[in-house]
Homo-oligomer: A and B are copies of this chain.
Amino acid sequence: MSEKLKRLKELLGEVSDLNKAASVLGWDQQVNMPPKGAEGRGQQLATLGKIAQDKFTSDEVGKLLDDLKREFEGAEASNDDAAMIRVTARNYDKAKRVPSEFVAEQAIVATQGFKAWVEAKGKSDFSIFLPALQKNVELLEKYISFFPPADHPYDTLLDDYEPGMKTADVKAIFDGLRPKQVKLIKAIADSKQVKDDFLHKKYNEKKLWDFGVDVITQYGYDWSRGRQDKAPHPFETSFNVNDVRITTRFEADNPLATLFSTLHEAGHAMYEQGSHPSYERTPLAGGTSLAIHESQSRMWENLVGRSMPFWEHFYPTLKKTFSSQLDGVSLKTFYKGINKVEPSLIRVNADEATYNLHIMLRLELEIGMVEGTLALKDLPEIWNEKMREYFGITPPNDAKGVLQDIHWSYGSVGYFSTYALGNLVSAQLWEKINQDIRDLDEQIRQGNFSELLGWLRAKVHVHGHKYDPQDLVQMITGSKITPQPYVRYLTKKYSEIYGL
């Protein structure tokens, strides 16, 4: 290895150590921290972030990158070091464009925004949140101004979550998806609704937890390199390839959510556990984008975890564990119940068929916010209109409408699409997997997930951040992200369930 590359890796290793240390502090904050520890923790996180940022944007890193870009010019796409330099140089360029005073200002505005949002949501009063949102959007405009003009200003935001993805791409994908998904939901609405009362009985938390642990153990989540804890919001976080943790929560009125959130987060975690060990302490470690990450979590949660073969394997055990709750509930009834489609107000509780529409609604509003074609004060009204248009329902208040999501409160705009894109990618990969593993259903029916995980490891996980999302999907499936496989998946699944 050249001396320059060695030195760059040394510096990036330190930056990674600082960022990962911050992740440990963040995890602890969610999982363990006593209530009054927040202020001190906030200072520690701010210091780690600042030092990591200073180290990363140092002139030495810039000089090394310039030299190494030349050294690796013309290297093959498969060259790890070349990829590392490319990804690092992109991150460096972004980081250099954003002044540290701006980062500090944004952090303050985000904190204020979050506070205002909590209060506004509590009182279900959008006007409390409006001034903070205004400030956050102003900062986004400023943020965009640091970058060269793109085809669309929203591109700059999107690129932070989905490197290389354009607003026009996402719009085109969603335009192809929307009518088909709306049509499907209409057809389902005209059918006889399935039963799911058995899902809303009282379930023992500990037993559900244990059941989820058993499932993800069979999935292949490596407990010697991870752990699960309780937290107010389920999430996955990684401190290094050998320490990838997940959290879950128990919802008394929706107990099975504990299980599905465990499967979801384990999907994220297995992605991170599969990143190539040689990428450790470099920007290639971990998942390549939020959409690809979400494709993994949604696959293990939905395409596997809400499938008939899965429950052919696991339902007998579940039924034995919860014999009174599931008394008289056949496998088929259970399967239909956990796949019930129902237009609903809240995104995070939405089923597979309606979920993406929640995302599209948000994308349209975000684009309007960034373009300036939408007056922020009109957001609640526009939100409710779109809810009527897509779902035929009107939120009874802002808390269950425009105020439901946390993201905008801290200036996170451009994030939502990745959820829907993740769904699409999960189905796109799934079609390819089923071509490669012809008896996948049968394997799942036997509770055998090793070939599936092995496929994902080899095709997706091991590459870490090496390939951009669109390139990775193209490489694996032969085309960029496309909605058709997901439409086919939904149509087939729900035609059976609802007898369409």
Contacts and interface: CB of A to CB of B under 8 A. Distances in A.
B225 A34 contact: yes
A241 B18 CA distance: 23
B25 A44 contact: no
Interface string A68-92: 0000000000000000000000000
A57 interface: no
Given A14-B47, A17-B47, A39 B281 contact: no
A75 to B, nearest CB: 27
A36 interface: yes
A39 B227 contact: no
Contacts of A28: 24, 28
A15 to B, nearest CB: 9
A32 interface: yes
Given A40-B20, A48-B18, A34 B240 contact: no
A242 B47 contact: no
A37 interface: yes
A147 interface: no
Interface string A6-20: 000000011001101
A43 B21 CA distance: 10
Contacts of A243: 33-34, 36-37, 40-41
Interface in A29-69: 32-37, 39-41, 43-44, 46-48, 51
Contacts of A2: none
A43 B17 contact: yes
A240 B18 contact: no
A223 interface: yes
B223 A34 contact: yes
A209 interface: no
Interface string A244-260: 01000000000000000
Contacts of A25: 21, 24
A39 B240 CA distance: 9
A280 interface: yes
Nearest to A33: B243
A17 B44 contact: yes
B281 A37 contact: no
A226 interface: yes
Contacts of A32: 227, 229
A226 B43 CA distance: 18
Given A13-B43, A18-B47, A25-B21, A37 B240 contact: yes
Contacts of A241: 40
B34 A224 contact: yes
A270 to B, nearest CB: 14
Interface in A229-282: 229, 239-243, 245, 280-281
Contacts of A281: 43
Interface string A129-149: 000000000000000000000
A78 to B, nearest CB: 26
B226 A34 contact: yes
Nearest to A31: B32
Contacts of A51: 14, 18, 51
A456 to B, nearest CB: 20
B13 A47 contact: yes
Contact of A36 (B37, B43, B46, B225): B225
Interface in A346-373: none
Nearest to A15: B47
Interface of A: 13-14, 17-18, 20-22, 24-25, 28, 32-37, 39-41, 43-44, 46-48, 51, 223-227, 229, 239-243, 245, 280-281
5 contacts: A17-B48, A32-B229, A35-B224, A41-B239, A44-B239
CB-CB nearest 4 A-B residue pairs: A40-B240, A37-B243, A17-B47, A36-B242
Given A21-B44, A28-B28, 13 more contacts: A14-B47, A14-B51, A18-B47, A21-B21, A21-B25, A21-B47, A34-B223, A34-B224, A35-B224, A36-B224, A36-B243, A40-B240, A41-B243
